[in-house]
Amino acid sequence: MKLFTEEQHRRLLAQGRANAGREESQDFKPVVKLFCPWNGATWLLSELDPDDTDIAFGLCDLGMGFPELGSVRLSELAAVRGPGGLGIERDIHFRADKTLAAYAEEAAREERIIA
């Protein structure tokens, strides 16, 4: 499975361009939720770096109780393989109902992403 659809790629890039070079970034809703099916890792991504589209920004949770806002290299996520050759997957049912900052605040309280 691809990490995101063409439409999601377009939205991630548009949001990344909107925040590129800005001192105060807009707080967008996440576009895509990725997850690791064999452990608790989850990523809510809201932007792609317009200068390097292999880098996404969002809320990252490796399943150890410390979710944080940051960047992730998509090629590294795509290369991850687990039991039986499983890879990182996209939650096809995810629909963001709040901004990334709101998810981050909730994740800090709960010590995990709830989405």
Domain range enclosing 35? 6-110
Contact 42, 75 (CB under 8 A): no
Is 1 domain-assigned? no
Is 65 domain-assigned? yes
Total of domains in the chain = 1
Is 21 domain-assigned? yes
pLDDT at 1: 72
**With a threshold of 0.85, does the pTM exceed it?**
yes
Is 59 domain-assigned? yes
What b/e sequence results for 70-90 when a residue is b if at least 16 CB atoms lie within 10 Å of its CB, and e otherwise? Answer: eebebeebeeeeeeeeeebeb
Is 15 domain-assigned? yes
Sign of the alpha-carbon torsion through 32, 89, 17, 63: positive
Tokens representing 11 are 């939205």
Is residue 39 predicted with pLDDT exceeding 80? yes
Is 42 domain-assigned? yes
Is residue 23 predicted with pLDDT exceeding 90? no
Is 90 domain-assigned? yes
Is 23 domain-assigned? yes
Is residue 8 predicted with pLDDT exceeding 90? yes
